[in-house]
A and B are shown apart, each in its own frame.
Chain A
Amino acid sequence: MNDVVVRFEHIVKVFAEGSSREVRAVDDFSLSVGRGKLVTLLGPSGCGKTTTLRILAGFEFATSGDVYIEDRRVNDIPPQKRDTSMVFQSYGLFPHMTVYENVAYGLKVKHVPKVQIKRQVAEVLSLVGLEGLERRSVGQLSGGQQQRVALCRAIVTKPKVLLFDEPLSNLDAKLRKGTREQIRRLQQELGITSIYVTHDQAEAMSISDAIAVMNAGRLQQLGPAEEIYSRPANRFVADFIGEANFLPARVTAVADGQVTIRLFERDLTVEQDTPRFSPGEEVDTVVRPEAVDVIGIGEGDVDAEILFSHYTGSVVLYALKLPDGNRMEVQVANPKERGLLPIGTVVGLRLHRKSLHLLKKET
């Protein structure tokens, strides 16, 4: 059942309107989120993702456009009446209250009977492995524990929408992965519609049903992780998610679901049906560094000279110079097996045909 819980329609947010410091933080943003889905707003800092989230929560007000929660227009409704719950980057726990009092807070507001509150709090704490810690003062907990208490506090009230504002950025890297998993599993188990904001693409890609990539206030692309990665809609998305090489090429023929391009003095056929290209058009070919094999001279599509090798243990990333002078990066897994190639070596490169993706040239 395709039941839309959250709908953004043409949201615009301008700060300091009319002054010299005017900033268009969100620019004509529209998005629908289905029930039980987790959608992530992903982008660099300043792209408008947090502002959008806070507009949904009610802490910011849209300059124009409408926000709907389950078909109810909530633009003018104050945050406490919106039935959303937020997990903050700094957790926002009440320092003068115990774990129990923090988690029970929202239930008390709803006048849930005490006996039931006790039960629900205990339940939700055990879901994240914090059972028995009710009486602790929150100042005594570790960062990871505090984060989980913030999570419990937000979900125990069973809100219609759960909002996450970069909840993991204050945690150490090691903790992040485990917590990320926990959040996602919990969200799926409980089926709460969630909107998640982060600048960490690995995080976004691993937990989302769909990712909305944002830049300079605008939505760049919306889709599941795999789609965003292998079929980026524009240069920004391609560059922001993972690493990418952009190789200029020319379209020679267009057929149904296939485009033939001329690259490295070869004709390559790419399977792609959008956008529509025309023969003779100049395009950029997106080639991910892992989608290239390093082989002997003359055996591949083109030869290149190694300029630098970024060795990181599990992979090595070679920076190479192409015959036309342009630069390209290629990643080789498990370099120990083949041995590290020194600077100056000339090698052959073969592109993985199925992994090629074409973008229209952007001015």
Chain B
Amino acid sequence: MRISSYQRELRNEVRRLIHDPVLLGIVLVVFGLLAVFIVLPLVKVVQFSLWPGGQFNPKYFLNFFRKSYYWRPLINSMIVGSLVSLFGTIVAFIFAYGITRTDIPGKGIFRLIAMMPIVSPPFLIALAAILLLGHHGVVTEALHLNWDIYGLPGLVLTETLAYFPIAFMILEGVLSKIDPAIEEAALDMGASKLRTFLTVTLPLAIPGIASAMLLVFIRSLEDFGNPVVIQGNFQVLTVAAYHAVTGMYNMPLGATLAIFMLIPTLMIFVVQKYYVARRSYVTVTGKPSGVGLKSTEPHVKYPIFGLMILLSGVIILLYGVVLFGSFTKIWGIDHTLTLKNYQYVFSVGGQYVLDTIEIALIATPIGGILSMIIAYLVVRKRFLGRGLMEFVSMLNFAVPGVVVGIGYILAFNTPPLRLTGTALIIILVFIFRRMPVGIRDGIAQLQQIDPSIEEASSSLGAGFFRTFTRVTLPLVAPAFLSGLVYIFVRCMTAISAVVFVVSASWQLLTVALLYEVDQANLSAAAAYGYVIIAIVLAAIVLMRFVVEKLFQKGFSPIARE
């Protein structure tokens, strides 16, 4: 009897797991967590949509296509997404090219500006847009414009600026990783710099550009904060789902809208990961080396420099106006400076500040370590179901925050897991929401380590825990700690999932901010925004200090000479 090789391999893998109970235990625990906190909410969303009230009933699903006020938001979201991914990538490309391929001055500052939207709640930009270009905005008034920024223009502007940093990071990596020898060879054969750029550089960068566009598209589709503020009458799907759930308690409707949000993002995610990423000729790991060809011709350099200054100016203006607004009494009417707004934040919102920081501080290390464990399992170990673990843990990359939020309140409102209303549910949303990014970073960090080092540890008798804690973690520690800061930042600026799970006992700063915007208390909202930014900056500075102190001696985990 011939067993298929697949069955044989399966049987061997099972046997191997049984002999390594520690590994088996960890694998089971991780799968359990992924199943409950990533898969179950999604299952619940589908269940509530197609089996409302326990019976199979595709009514809501079909209604989606019949009622224009259901499907139009989807079309709108797609339109916004397409425009945002296009413009966001263009803006990102200008910055990335300017920084990696020219010799313009002030690169450090430009990089900083390009990353600014990441450390703040993304919808702060929408707030700024209204302060400037709203119906009674400062610029609208000054120029006597008959038009305001609500609706499609507002959405495109705010989301482009909020999400271009993502594209920027990808493009910066791609442009600086292209082997200079390839471009030099082209020049050597007589191609002009322009021709080299168009026929060599750009084609090599295309997978990266495609990835950037797709990822920005996903972020735009799932954006909740900006639309809630500035969509006007141009409704998008995320806000519609929110209304369905919190305004109308129509869970089946909310779940259905969530599904239609999920379909495009999942499709795009799959295309990006399995099609585009595979065709990359350039790997983006480690820090950019920036040694490609530099464009020093004035007719290239100056326009790019000019554009970058313009864009940077816009960004600084937006953040600046919010900062200024946070010190004004009543925006639009009374611009006398006052600290009243900050007092308001710390009195009415004082508990929110504490709650938010406390929850973020708990979620961050747990999320970081869990991500690192999963990254380690996926990269270093071979076991039954490894591919599945990798796929599921990356799934949340494609799931919009609103869908996660809805899924969590559907899944965790009844025994045996009654978590609604607790801090725990918020912590869990924080941990699992952005875990894919943590895992991807963890994988990159682990790939920097010579595998022989960890194999040596196993060879000497150390099991999973000892190897992980004594050898792996210390070697990735500096990058790991820096990674923790990003998790903390994401916790502090999150809105789309957590707006569903805050409760009487636990409130968050971003939700309070949104409330103030809705109440048209723009000055108070601005103050909330800058309190969040201040906390985030403090965390970044603190962590940098800690990392420097702990790792001054510095060593290289790459033993190959």
Contacts and interface: CB of A to CB of B under 8 A. Distances in A.
Direct chain A–B contact by Cβ atoms under 8 Å = yes
Interface of A: 14, 17-18, 57-59, 61, 63-64, 75-81, 83-86, 88-96, 105-106, 109-110, 137, 139, 143, 146, 150, 153-154, 157, 163, 170
B12 A80 contact: no
A106 B561 contact: no
B476 to A, nearest CB: 11
B270 to A, nearest CB: 21
Interface string B157-186: 000000000000000000000000000000
Given A75-B15, A92-B453, 13 more contacts: A58-B458, A75-B12, A78-B20, A79-B459, A89-B452, A90-B452, A95-B453, A96-B475, A105-B457, A109-B466, A146-B559, A153-B460, A154-B459
A143 B19 contact: no
A109 B467 CA distance: 10
**In the complex, the 7 A-B pairs of residues with the closest C-beta atoms, listed nearest first:** A92-B452, A106-B460, A92-B456, A78-B20, A76-B15, A88-B452, A79-B458
20 contacts: A59-B458, A64-B8, A76-B12, A78-B20, A78-B458, A80-B460, A83-B461, A85-B459, A86-B455, A86-B456, A90-B560, A92-B452, A92-B453, A92-B455, A93-B456, A96-B474, A96-B475, A137-B555, A154-B460, A163-B459
Interface string B469-498: 001001100000000000000000000000
B460 A109 contact: yes
A84 B459 contact: yes
A105 B470 CA distance: 10
A87 B458 CA distance: 12
Contacts of B450: 90, 92
B463 interface: yes
Contacts of B382: 61
Nearest to B13: A61
Given A94-B453, A95-B475, A80 B462 contact: yes
Contacts of B459: 57, 79-80, 84-86, 154, 163
Contacts of B458: 58-59, 78-80
Most buried by A among B23, B456, B458, B561: B456
Most buried by B among A79, A80, A90, A137: A80
Contacts of B8: 63-64
Contact of A157 (B23, B461, B466, B553): B461
Given A106-B461, A157-B461, A95 B555 contact: yes
Given A77-B19, A106-B461, A109-B462, A139 B556 contact: yes
A52 to B, nearest CB: 16
B317 interface: no
A171 to B, nearest CB: 10
B5 interface: yes
Given A17-B5, A95-B475, A143-B561, A81 B462 contact: no
A78 B553 CA distance: 34
B18 interface: yes
Contacts of A75: 12, 15
Contact of B460 (A58, A77, A105): A105
Nearest to B15: A76
A357 B467 CA distance: 52
Contacts of A106: 460-461
A316 to B, nearest CB: 36
Given A77-B19, A78-B458, A139-B555, A170 B561 contact: yes
B286 interface: no
Contacts of A91: 452, 559
Contacts of A146: 559
B16 interface: yes
Contacts of A93: 453, 456, 559
Nearest to A146: B559
B16 A76 contact: yes
Interface string B547-561: 000000101110111
A88 B456 contact: yes
A285 to B, nearest CB: 44
Nearest to A84: B459
Contacts of B457: 94, 105
B550 to A, nearest CB: 11
Contact of B559 (A18, A76, A90, A154): A90
Contacts of A163: 459
A154 B12 CA distance: 28
B11 to A, nearest CB: 10
Nearest to B558: A95
Contacts of B19: 76-78, 81
B468 to A, nearest CB: 12
Contacts of A80: 458-463, 467
A258 B350 CA distance: 102
Nearest to A79: B458
A14 B6 CA distance: 12
B264 to A, nearest CB: 32
Contact of B455 (A77, A88, A95): A88
Interface string B523-561: 000000000000000000000000000000101110111
A111 to B, nearest CB: 10
Nearest to A170: B561
Nearest to A93: B559
Contacts of B9: 17, 63
Contacts of A109: 460-462, 466
A63 B5 contact: yes
A105 B553 CA distance: 22
A91 B455 CA distance: 11
A92 B456 CA distance: 6
A255 B15 CA distance: 55
A297 to B, nearest CB: 54
Nearest to B467: A80
Contacts of A90: 450, 452, 559-560
A315 B557 CA distance: 45
A163 B455 CA distance: 13
A154 B456 CA distance: 9
A304 to B, nearest CB: 47
A25 to B, nearest CB: 15
Interface string B425-459: 00000000000000000000000001011011111
A172 to B, nearest CB: 11
Interface in B401-426: none
Given A88-B456, A94-B471, A143-B561, A76 B461 contact: no
A84 B560 CA distance: 23
A79 B15 contact: no
A110 B466 CA distance: 12
Nearest to A96: B474
A153 B456 contact: yes
Most buried by A among B6, B458, B474: B458
B16 A78 contact: yes
Given A78-B16, A89-B452, A95 B461 contact: no
A85 B460 contact: yes
Most buried by B among A57, A64, A109, A163: A109
Interface string B7-35: 01100100110111001000000000000
Contacts of B453: 92-95
Contact of B557 (A57, A58, A89, A95): A95
Contacts of B471: 94
Nearest to B477: A96
Contacts of B463: 78, 80
Contact of A79 (B455, B474, B475): B455
Contacts of A94: 453, 456-457, 471
Most buried by B among A85, A94, A137: A94
Nearest to B16: A76
A146 B456 CA distance: 14
B103 to A, nearest CB: 35
A110 B460 CA distance: 9
A90 B455 CA distance: 11
Nearest to B23: A78
A271 B274 CA distance: 64
